[in-house]
Amino acid sequence: MELPFAESWKIKMIEPMRKSTREEREQWLREANYNVFQLKAEQVYIDCLTDSGTGAMSDRQWAEMMLGDESYAGATSFYKFESVVQKIFGMKYVIPTHQGRAAENVLFSFLVKEGNVIPGNAHFDTTKGHIESRKAKAIDVTNDDAKDTQKVVPFKGNVGLDKLEKVLVENKGNVPFMVLTVTNNTVGGQPVSMKNIRETCELCHKHGVPVVMDSARFAENAYFIKTREEGYADKTIKEIALEMYSHVDAMTMSAKKDGVVNMGGFIATNNKEWFEGAKLFCIPFEGYITYGGMSGRDLNALAVGLDENTEYDMLHTRIHQVEYLASKLDEYGIPYQRPAGGHAIFVDADKVLTHVPIEEFPAQTLTCELYLEAGVRGCEIGYILADRDPVTHENRFGGLDLLRLCIARRVYTDNHMNVIAAALKNVYDRRESITRGVAIEWEAPLMRHFTVKLKRL
């Protein structure tokens, strides 16, 4: 008999969890203004808000924490971290930052000027925020397959090359770089193929435009290349990562995802001029260039995290769990962005809450319903997250309206996946009776989803 699948790690430390009653959750959600970011973590049973900084570190990572060198300048920890980054990504110049958006802030402070246009395959919200706050424009050039949640294609995060070319031609001389996000978080943790990475970079370079890879989930992307793209089955994850980065000019990294640390980020590039330029912004924003917002012990833990999480078994265990949750939703007939992404399941709220008008934010409503049902916290990746158009100030209802259920790395078991799926099924079974959503009572001008105050209609 063939041996069944099992995790490639065992558990050494546990954290007790607390369940709550529906009554408690009704009160807590009301107090949180129907915004799950405003809940206290202790009011949550299973937390699928994000996979960012929520992973469980390995014993080797914890051991390295004890060896951190906390010297202000030139710490051993920096050089340990730098050499791992150089080896995995083939990038010579490395600047640590405290997280991904800090890497964006430092690099974009040097590169983005008012009026610039920056195309990308669905910029993450902080990336878009750092572009728009500098009065530049972020244009989404994701391929159209991503818009149809039921269409199964292997690399749904790909760049639409026609769309990209149009932006490059129409904005000649005004595009400082293009952002290539792997995996494409916004459309569902969907991967980008090596072919698309190569062709995107060739096209950009033909137009004299460099490419910055937003790398938060680069290892998951490499896993999908290995398992889905012809010619890569026999390559290691590390070989694939190196090839991915051989095409691009720089990277920004939120190490809280595929670095499997609770906090951390960095910039890496082979472009000396960019390195020198970014360095100037690192010092005032993040700190001296050999620590840039991270302590020595955190740099050590990240060095190990990057090395461990670019091994096949680790990634296979992770993606297998996300696919397991997807298989439960398939069993219950619940529509989500297919195929399952790398870090999360994105439930298609428009297709679930068909009686809730889009002006009443179906995905946010579904997020609230799931929390009330079982204390499971997901998050809206939809019309609230999309913010308003900076020019017309209208809500952007054009994209997808999804409930994202992120799976933290190495934290929950498949039994927890069963609970999430069952809770969602219970909501799904009474979907016809949910006819009203939520309305905005107060919102911030940028990145409103973190602090928005809502009322239930």
**Catalytic residue annotation:** 72, 124-125, 214, 216, 257, 449
- Closest to ligand F0G by CB, 100 vs 437, is 100
- If one asks whether residue 367 binds ligand F0G (CB under 6 A), the answer comes out as no
Please report, as a single letter, which amino acid is at residue 75: A
Q: Minimum distance from CB of 40 to ligand F0G (Å)?
A: 18
Q: Minimum distance from CB of 305 to ligand F0G (Å)?
A: 14
d(CA 297, CA 172): 45
Q: Minimum distance from CB of 393 to ligand F0G (Å)?
A: 25
Q: Minimum distance from CB of 185 to ligand F0G (Å)?
A: 4
Which of 126, 309, 310, 337 touches ligand F0G by CB under 6 A? Answer: 126
Which of 137, 256, 328, 410 touches ligand F0G by CB under 6 A? Answer: 256
d(CA 428, CA 424): 6
The DSSP annotation for 429-456 comes to HTGGG----EEEEE--SSSGGGT-EEEE
Q: Minimum distance from CB of 254 to ligand F0G (Å)?
A: 3
- If one asks whether residue 214 binds ligand F0G (CB under 6 A), the answer comes out as yes
Q: Which residue is nearest to ligand F0G (CB)?
A: 100
Query: Taking CB under 6 A as the criterion, which residues in 68-107 touch ligand F0G?
Result: 99-101
User: 337, 122 in Cβ contact below 8 A?
Assistant: no
Residues 6 or more apart whose CB falls under 8 angstroms from that of 280 comprise: 110
- If one asks whether residue 181 binds ligand F0G (CB under 6 A), the answer comes out as yes
φ/ψ of residue 332, rounded to 5: -90, -5
3-state SS, residue 119: strand
By CB atoms closer than 10 A (0-12, 13-18, 19+), residue 272 is exposed
- If one asks whether residue 337 binds ligand F0G (CB under 6 A), the answer comes out as no
Q: Which tokens is 433 given?
A: 């009776």
Which of 167, 178, 212, 216 touches ligand F0G by CB under 6 A? Answer: 216
Maximum pairwise Cα distance, the chain: 63
d(CA 100, CA 128): 13
- Closest to ligand F0G by CB, 106 vs 434, is 106
φ/ψ of residue 107, rounded to 5: -70, -45
- If one asks whether residue 52 binds ligand F0G (CB under 6 A), the answer comes out as yes
Positions that interact with ligand F0G (CB under 6 A) = 50, 52, 99-101, 124, 126-127, 181, 185, 214, 216, 254, 256, 265
